Structure 1
Amino acid sequence: MAKWSKQEIVNSVPQKGFFGHPKGLFTLFFTEFWERFSYYGMRAILVFYMYYEVSKGGLGLDETTALSIMSIYGSLVYMSGIIGGWLADRIFGTQKAVFYGGILIMFGHIALAIPGNIAMFFISMVLIILGTGLLKPNVSSVVGDMYAETDDRRDSGFSIFVMGINAGAFISPLIVGSVMKTSFHLGFGIAAVGMFAGLVMFVLTKKKNLGLAGTQVANPLSPEEKKKVFTRIGIGIALIVILCVVLIPAGILTISVFIKLVGILGILIPTMYFVVMYRSSKTTDVERSRLLAYIPLFIAAVMFWSIQEQGSTILANYADKRTQLDFAGMHISPAWFQSLNPLFIIILAPVFAWLWVKLGKRQPTTPQKFSLALLFSGLSFLVILLPAYFGGTGGLVNPLWLVLSYLICVIGELLLSPVGLSATTKLAPAAFSAQTMSLWFLSNAAAQAVNAQIVKFYTPETEMAYFGVIGGASIALGIILLVISPKIQGFMKGVR
């Protein structure tokens, strides 16, 4: 296979055609729109499906267990990006990874849509976890392939891309949440249809719009390596199956033990990734310096996502149990609150995209944007503790408190998420381009692995301490990052 330079790949993509951006952004915008429609529609009702009584159509799990499983599921979704990034970098490229991932996700939602038992639930989770691992990091890598390294449109392009993600995420909880009381399985079926629409969009437009973006295998396996790798993968899968068959019936591998194991892996795996890439002979000295700069950004992202991702666990439970759902003459579904985050991003993303283009070289550096993001995320948790401070934990809370908390956190997200995606494509070693994008999503995996442990401490009685400690920790870390941001910038070797 021919080896193309980054500039040749950029030149193969029509550079004008979607709001002044490469034409391929249209394809990836709508592919990710429908994938996120399916994912967030499913996620909006999943925790309720787990802890609602069987008589109400749920699985009847313990509430605390359901919250921990939800966090672990989210962690594994992003952790599986390691597999997707490796397959893209070493075997079939990012475009094919996106397509294969979409197929697995669709079948995962179909499995959820079939009324069944707890076994069918876990089968669907495996399919969605693996599918998202293939699609999620790689579609973002294709976006990065369409821009030259010095193209000032890059951050703006990622902001538009993130707006597409959140357009799908906004609509789906409203639709799926509305049918939740009728049938959880109908809601999951709607999510499956959304993923099918995304696959159709991708297949019909990729050839014309994407050019060579995502088709090149960055670090292909040699024939000898393939034989060794596939043998090891086969042995590994066989060992996992054997361990599950032996340990689960014996009561050794319980849900609680699995949650703790994933918590350890959530920290251990990204640490190993940094070490392997840093020590690789394929990583240059400049790339090693950029990896060192990436570490504090990664830690900051873990802190931020730990707060943001509690929108589908603690804040979802808060909406269901602590919030006045009869408001302004209508009854609110607790799932609808999960549309707030993407709604605010849809409104504010164009503002931030315009702002970065307008400021150009005068905009804050990447570390400074990350530090501001942590300040806002911490403030969003301090806001949500105020109702308990003023009115106690016994009554129902005005839903506008949740609205305000989501709004503040979204401002932080727009300072971190698209900027982090863009920074990852610029700081990644060339031999690990897709895998470094997987590493970025591991910040979310690590955050949710941590969340699976800390959500156990949340009760109405500990509400104020819970939000106060976590929110305060985010603000403190944000201040530290702001102070050391010039030092981090120096290690980035010219990347802003």
Structure 2
Amino acid sequence: MSNITKEKIVESVPQNGFFGHPKGLFTLFFTEFWERFSYYGMRAILVFFMYYEVTKGGLGFPEELALAIMSIYGSLVYMSGIIGGWLADRIFGTSKAVFYGGVLIMLGHIVLAIPGNATLFFVSMILIVLGTGLLKPNVSSMVGDIYSEQDNRRDSGFSIFYMGINLGGFLSPLVVGTVGMNNFHLGFSLAAIGMFIGLVVYVITRKKNLGLAGTVVVNPLSKEEKKKVFTIIGAGIVVIGILVAISIPLGILTFDTFIKLVGVLGILIPTLYFVFMYRSPKTTAVERSRIIAYIPLFIASIMFWAIQEQGSTILANYADKRTQLEFAGLHISPAWFQSLNPLFIITLAPLFAWMWVKLGNRQPSIPQKFSLGLLFAGLSFLIILLPAYFGGADSLVNPLWLVLSYFVVVIGELCLSPVGLSATTKLAPAAFSAQTMSLWFLSNAAAQAINAQIVKFYTPETEMMYFGVIGGAALVLSLLLFILSPKIQGYMKGVK
């Protein structure tokens, strides 16, 4: 491991220059802004691209299959973060991981922009999944690197960073969504351009603004370990390739079996990762206690994202099929609803950042903030079942119901997501810093893997039960987490 300490890394970063925060936050803010512009722009039109008829420029997939693939794709995007975190921790550091990831994402969007068939579509998905796995957890981990552990600006900095994510997420459905709903491939081209701009910003400013942040390989492989690991990886790729080549023609590997497999992996991988980190000799006794405290937060995060991520699947379909799109003399594109979540975050994030700083030591504990996040997530689903209760499943719904649902879940997101990012950097064992950030994103992967199994139960006829059961489960878990908050806080060993 390098002899460069955390203190030296922080000292190498100019500490004032971006809204009173380290200059490095500027680089990471705009890199992530353009990456999210690219990702959310593509995602705003992706589900429609899959299930729209070929004559309308789509792939013509069955609607239920398109919704499941969308969830599986989202799950794999976050699941691949484990690979990205491991590569950063063991081989080339977080700074290079961010750059390599951005290149792969850009290539994935370029492939999507080429008119073709389902084969090209799945090639693009693989590139974007691998690229996001490299970039997403590591750019967030670098935000933690530019602050000392005692810096009171840390939570506020993550909130500002989170606002950058959502600024990109707000603009892209309006730009890419508007263009893409008329020409899907032209929309995907705009997503590729967005990622290219993000790479340019990162390369030009990282040396001056980030100093040593992201350059240290915290747990490097020895030469013997590298040889062994690369041999195993190479053999694994060959074996997987052979199995796929055999199982697809035989009808063993189908969309349905793959969706089930990802569902199992979504739960199994984080479980094994918790066990591995807890039992590692590189994890201290204090760090083991913090891992125990992290487990209920992780479970709460899964429940939250299981609701929030349906904004791009079930609620996107709801916007397309169940919502009045002619409103106040304006034709509303169903892709525009994807801008609501980031719009509300942009509006409310500064308020939350100010509120946590203002409250100081009087603010709710981390577990209590998570319980609030679950509370509002559950309420957002209970809100969206009301139109069917009042008007029935056959009538088109006033778009303001969707607006209200997105608004309420955003309040929960600001209680949970930026706080979760910050808590992860605090609770992570030193030898697994980037990998623990990857583990945080695995809660989203697990949520979407679960969603892929349950979206088939949604129809206009069952929507009241669908939203009611999931929303009610979130409220129950919220209450349980609030009750257990003091106990969980005790296991955090001084982390607040």
Q: TM-score, normalised by structure 2?
A: 1.00
In structure 1, the residue matched to 2:375 is 375
> Identity across aligned pairs (percent)?
79
Report deviation, 1:326. 0.3
Aligned pair 1:340/2:340, yes or no? yes
In structure 2, the residue matched to 1:325 is 325
In structure 1, the residue matched to 2:169 is 169
CA distance in 1, matches of 2:218, 2:354: 32
CA distance in 1, matches of 2:183, 2:39: 17
In structure 1, the residue matched to 2:303 is 303
Worse-superposed segment, 2-11 or 283-292: 2-11
1:293–1:489 contact (8 Å) kept in structure 2: yes
In structure 1, the residue matched to 2:483 is 483
Q: After superposition, give the CA deviation of every residue in 1:85-109 in whole Å (9 maximum; x if it has no partner).
A: 0000000000000000000000000
Report deviation, 1:336. 0.2
Q: How does 1:49-88 map to 2 (within 5 A)?
A: 49-88=49-88
1:73–1:125 contact (8 Å) kept in structure 2: yes
1:44–1:173 contact (8 Å) kept in structure 2: yes
In structure 2, the residue matched to 1:439 is 439
CA distance in 1, matches of 2:53, 2:427: 48
Q: How does 1:21-420 map to 2 (within 5 A)?
A: 21-420=21-420
Q: How many residues align?
A: 496
CA distance in 1, matches of 2:217, 2:386: 51
Worse-superposed segment, 421-430 or 179-188: 179-188
CA distance in 1, matches of 2:242, 2:154: 47
Q: What amino acid is the match of 1:493?
A: K
CA distance in 2, matches of 1:183, 1:199: 25
Secondary structure of 2:22's counterpart equals coil
Report deviation, 1:123. 0.1
Secondary structure of 1:171's counterpart equals helix
Q: After superposition, give the CA deviation of every residue in 1:169-193 in whole Å (9 maximum; x if it has no partner).
A: 0000001111133210000000000
Secondary structure of 1:87's counterpart equals helix
Q: 1:250 to 1:242 in 2, by over 3 A?
A: same
CA distance in 1, matches of 2:489, 2:152: 18
CA distance in 2, matches of 1:50, 1:131: 21
Report deviation, 1:7. 1.0
Report deviation, 1:150. 1.1
Q: After superposition, give the CA deviation of every residue in 1:147-204 in whole Å (9 maximum; x if it has no partner).
A: 1111111100000000000000000000111113321000000000000000000000
2:45–2:181 contact (8 Å) kept in structure 1: no
CA distance in 1, matches of 2:301, 2:491: 18
Q: After superposition, give the CA deviation of every residue in 1:225-261 in whole Å (9 maximum; x if it has no partner).
A: 0000000000000011111110011111000000000
Instruction: Specify every segment of 5 or more residues in structure 1 that has no aligned partner in the other structure, as ranges.
Output: none
CA distance in 2, matches of 1:83, 1:478: 31
Aligned pair 1:472/2:472, yes or no? yes
Secondary structure of 2:250's counterpart equals coil
Report deviation, 1:4. 1.0
CA distance in 1, matches of 2:106, 2:152: 36
2:2–2:218 contact (8 Å) kept in structure 1: no
Worse-superposed segment, 7-16 or 85-94: 7-16
In structure 1, the residue matched to 2:5 is 5
CA distance in 2, matches of 1:218, 1:350: 33
Q: What amino acid is the match of 1:212?
A: L
Report deviation, 1:325. 0.2
2:72–2:449 contact (8 Å) kept in structure 1: yes
1:3–1:216 contact (8 Å) kept in structure 2: no
1:27–1:206 contact (8 Å) kept in structure 2: yes
Instruction: Specify every segment of 5 or more residues in structure 2 that has no aligned partner in the other structure, as ranges.
Output: none
Q: After superposition, give the CA deviation of every residue in 1:357-404 in whole Å (9 maximum; x if it has no partner).
A: 111111111000000000000000000000000000101000000000
Q: TM-score, normalised by structure 1?
A: 1.00
CA distance in 2, matches of 1:106, 1:243: 29
Report deviation, 1:2. 4.2
Secondary structure of 1:264's counterpart equals helix
Q: After superposition, give the CA deviation of every residue in 1:52-77 in whole Å (9 maximum; x if it has no partner).
A: 00000000000000000000000000
TM-align CA RMSD: 0.6
Q: What amino acid is the match of 1:373?
A: G
2:9–2:212 contact (8 Å) kept in structure 1: yes
Q: What amino acid is the match of 1:273?
A: Y
CA distance in 2, matches of 1:328, 1:17: 44
Q: What amino acid is the match of 1:471?
A: G
Moved over 6 A (4+): none
1:38–1:172 contact (8 Å) kept in structure 2: yes
1:283–1:431 contact (8 Å) kept in structure 2: yes
In structure 1, the residue matched to 2:457 is 457
Secondary structure of 2:282's counterpart equals coil
1:325–1:331 contact (8 Å) kept in structure 2: yes
2:180–2:188 contact (8 Å) kept in structure 1: no
Q: What amino acid is the match of 2:176?
A: V
